[in-house]
Structure 1
C-alpha cells in the first residue's frame, strides 16, 4: 500500500505526518543517533547542547502529546523533532524543509511503498543496549529446503550461542512499550523497519526459556505474534514459561485471521500489504494470565533428587532469588563490613567463613557515603592486588545516590545497571540503606518504614520489581538500621532490634545483625537468622589494619581487661573533674549546684558527657559519700533548692569565696563561708538522711565509686 505524499517538488517524498510519526515511534533510537553522550530518563532525554556535550541543559520530551519537543535552557532554542534533526544535521527547516524530510526519511529507511521482505537476507545481529555486537546469527538453506542457523558469539569468539542469550533489537525495545515478540528475526526486522518496536528470541520456536534473558521486557505490555501453525503454538507456551518470572504488565497473543494459510506470519502480513498498525489495533488477541500457583505432593518432593542450586554466598547466607537483610546501629561498621564482604564476593574469594561459587557481579545502590569518602574507605580496606584485579569490573557502587526508589527511581537504576552490566546482569543487587531510598507508595508513603503496609509495598513493588527488571535470580541485600532495645531483649531475640515494620523480618530469607557491645571497643558480634538452611553460629570479628578477621570468643576476657583498665582510668578522671568543678565554682563564683543545674551547665564539657551520664556519675558518688546535700537556703543568696530532692551538692572542704591577706598587717582575713552538708544519700535505699556530724566525711568502697 503506497504511502501518501505531499508536493515538495519530490514525488517520492513521504508525507510530513508519516515521517514524524515514524521518528516519534523510534524516538529513543533517533536521540541515541543524534546524541551518543545523552542520558535517557523515564520521561525525558538530556544532553548538554546541540553539539552533543554531556550535560542536562537540553531536554527532549519522550512521551505523550509533547513527545519530540525540546528546549535548550542555555541558548533558549527549541522546537519539534524536525527542528532538532535539522539543527544537528546542519539543515534549515525554514529555507529547505523538504531536505529535512529527505534526511529523516533516508535515516528511517522509509520509501514510497511498503518495504518488501527480502528472501536474500541471511544474517541478523544481536546487540546490547548501546549497539555493541554480541551475537551474529546466519541462516543457510540446505538442498532439501531445510533452514540451518549458525550463531557466532562475539564475546567468546566461538561459533556457539552464549550461555545467557539476549533478545533481538535491545536498543529499540529498551524504553519502548508495548513490544511485539515475533517468531524469528526476519519477522521482527520487518516490523522494526516499519517503526514498530519488535523483538524475538535466539533459537527459533524451540528456544530454551531458561537460557534467555527476558529482563528488558519487565513491566511492559507484550504482544506475541506467532506463526500460524503448531510450532507457533508451542512457541507461545515456551514464551509464557520464560516471561513468567519478569512480571510484564500484560501479555497478549495475536489470533491469526481464519482466512490466513498455515505458517502465515508477520512478514507475510507485510507482503500482503496490510496496514500493520491498524491490523494490530483490530486483530483479536488472547490475554494470558501469567500468575501460576503450584502444589507438589510429598512423593514428588521426596523423589526430586536434583542438585541444589549453588548459594550466592555460602553457607546459605544468600541464595538465588533470596533476600539478606544486614542490620546494625549507626557507627557499628555495617556499611564497611558489607563493602568488604561484597568486594571479596566480586573477586570470587572467601571472606571470613563465607564463600561465593565464582566471582560474582555486584551492583550497590549506595545512598549514604559521598564519593571522596567512599574511595577513601575502599582504599583503606586492605584488599590484596589479586582481589582488586579480580573484582575491579565486577562490582559497581554509586556514591551517595540521592533518589527515592519510586517509579522514576526504578527506571533510573534499571538504566544505570544495564549501562554498567551490558553483557550479563548482576548476581547481587544491594540497597544501602533502606531508609534513604524508601518509598511506601501512594497509599502508605507518608507512613514511612514503620508501617507494615508501606514496608510490604516497598519490598514487593520496588525491590522485587527492580530484581525482576534486572535478573529474577539475583540475590538482594538490604542494609538497615537497628533501634535500641534492652540487653535482656537482645539476648532473648536480637532481631527484635531491626528498625521499622515487622513485615520486613517476615519477608527476608536470611538476616545478619552487626552488634557493637560498646562504642569504645573494636569487637563486633555477628548474629544470624536463616530460613533456608541450618543456622550459622554467631561470630566475633574485629577490624585490624583495614581487614576484618574472626577472633576466638575465649580471647574476649583479655580484650575486655584492657578495655576495663581504660574505663577505670576514665572514671577516675570524671570523678576528679566533677569534684573539682563543684569546689572551684563555689570558691571563685560563690555558686552552688543541684544535680539538674550542674548536669545542664557541664553537658559535653571537659569530657563529662551528656546530662544523663553526668547525673549517673553524681548519683554513684553520692551513694559512696563523696557528695552530700545542703537542704537549707544558699548561705549568701538565700535562694532555696526546694524543687530538688537532694538540694545543693556539697563536697568536702567546700567554701563560698576565699580568704584574703590584709595588705597593711599581712594577716589572713577570713572571708570565706564554709559550706557544710545537712543531709546525705543512703547508699542502700537511695533515700535522704540527715547527717549526724557535718564535719565528718566517710567514703564507702572507693574503688567502686571511681
Structure 2
C-alpha cells in the first residue's frame, strides 16, 4: 500500500466524536486523524488583535459584541448588506489552530451550546424580566422601548434556537416576541420550550395583531397609527405559554381568515427568488435523469463548475458566483480528480467555490435517507454553507428499493428542509428501462419543481444528448427559453448547445429583448456607471467601466423606478424582477457586487486617480491538497480566495476542498489592517 494511503482512511466513530467534543468543549483535538480544528477561545484573550479581519463581502454594516456575565468579550456577530438588498449575518470568533497553535480571528460559529446576546445585561439585572426577540438588531431596538425588561436573543437565526445555551433564563420571567411570520412563530415556540426546560418559571408569548406586515419585528417602523404605548400594551398582554398546545389566547380565538386572503397574499413581503444560473436558483429542486453512459455526471459536474464560477453555461446566463457542494456516491477519487481538472481546463480558470464530497473518500458515509446520513451531510453543509448542492446519484447515495416510494419517503422532509434553508438542489438519477422517465414511481417527481431528461444522440462527439424539461414549474413567458429543449454536445473539449433537432449548424438559443421597464432599469445602470465615484467605481473585464449593485439601486430610487419609502424586501423584489431580464438578454453582466454593461459603446466614467475595488483583494498561498491523492494539479496564476468562511475539516482524503484549490489549504494570517480597517 502506498505511504499516503492512510490519508484516505475513514475517521472512526471515536475520532468523529472527539472532534465534535473538541469543537464544543475545548477538549484536545486528535492529532493523527487528519483533523484541522480551529478551537474558539471564550472569552477572547486580552491580547487578541482588535481589528476585524477582512471578509469577502466587504465591510460590515453593523456589529454586535457578545459578552459573558462578567462583561468579557466572547465574539462578534457582523451584518453585511448585499447589493441586491439582502443581508448576510456572520459570526466572528477568536480561535486557536489545534494542530499548529496559531491564533486568529475566524469567520465561524460559536461553539455549541452558543452564548446568548445580552448575558452581561442579564447578570447586571438579576431580577428583571427577560424579553427574547429574534436577532441582535431587534434586541437593541427593544431596550429603549421596554426599559423594564432585558432584551436578549440567540445567534444563528430562527432555525438555530436549539443550538443556544438558555440556562441563563433559569428562575427568570420570560416573554418572547418573535418575528411576524411562520419562521418567527416557530422560533418563539422553540424558545418557549427551551426556556421551560432551562427552568424558567413563567413564559409568555406576544401575539402580534392580524394585518401587521409580514416579517415585522421590533427593529422595524411600527405600522401606521401604532405608537410605542401600543407596543408596550402588547408586551403586557402577552399570552401565557401552554406547553401542551403552544400559546393560546384565553378566549380560544379562531385563526383570522383575512391573514390568508388573496389580498393578504398580494401584500405579503416574500423573499424573492435568487437566481444563480439560467433556471437554477437557491430554492430550485430539480431531478436530472438519463440512461447509463450518456454523460450525466460529466454534465452535472460542468454545471456545478459554472455555477461556482459565475459563468454562463450553454444558453443559460449566470447571475453571480455561487458556493456549490457536489456529493458523489460512486466515482473513485482519481476519476473525480480528473473530472475536476477537465472542468478547470474547459473553464480556462481555477474552480473556486466548488466542493466535492466523495463517498470513495468517505466509505462510511451513511445513506442519505437515514437519520445518520442526514446528520453526516448536515455537518458538511453547515461547514461549506452552499448555495446549491448536486447529489450524484440517487441509487448510490440512498438505500432501499428505488422502484417504489419506500426508500424515498424517508428523505422527503430533508429535501424540503434544504429548500427552507434556501439551498438549491439537483438530484441526478437513472431512467427506467425505456429511457423516457426517471426510474421508479412517477410520484417522486411531485416533490420537484423541475424534471430534466437527457436522451442520447448518435454522432461523432464524445458526449451528445437532447435536454428536455419534462416539468418546469417556474417557467414564465420571460424565462421560457431557459426551459426549452436543446441539443447538448461535448465536442473538441467544449460544451455547446443549439436548438433541438439542428445540432449541426443549428441556431443558438437566445433570450428575448428586455421589457420596457427592464430597459429603463438599464438606463439607470448606465447613469450609475457614469456617475460612480469612490468604492462604487469598479472595473469589469478588459477595463470595462462598472459599478456596484448598491449604486444601481440608488439610481433606480432616484429615477422613481423603486419607491424610496418601500420596505427593503419590496425594493429587493423589484430589483430581482427586472435585473434577470437584462442578464438573459446579455445587456449586462455581473460578478458578485460588480455589474457592468455588455452593450457598446460602454458608458463613460469620469477620470479619477481612485483605484477601483476588486471582488477579492486578500489572497493566500494554499498548499496543494491533491498531493495526498497521488497526483498534482497544474499550477494556476492566481490562488483561490481565502477571505471567506472556512469550512471545518471534518474528514480527509479526496473530499470537498481537498479535491480543489479551495479553502482547506494552509491559511495565512490576515494582512495588517489599512486605514479603512474595521475595529471592535
* Rg comparison, structure with higher value: 1
What TM-score results when the alignment is normalised by the length of structure 2?
A: 0.45
Relative contact order, CA 8 A, sep 6+: which one is greater? 2
Structure (1/2) with the larger helix percentage: 1
What TM-score results when the alignment is normalised by the length of structure 1?
A: 0.43
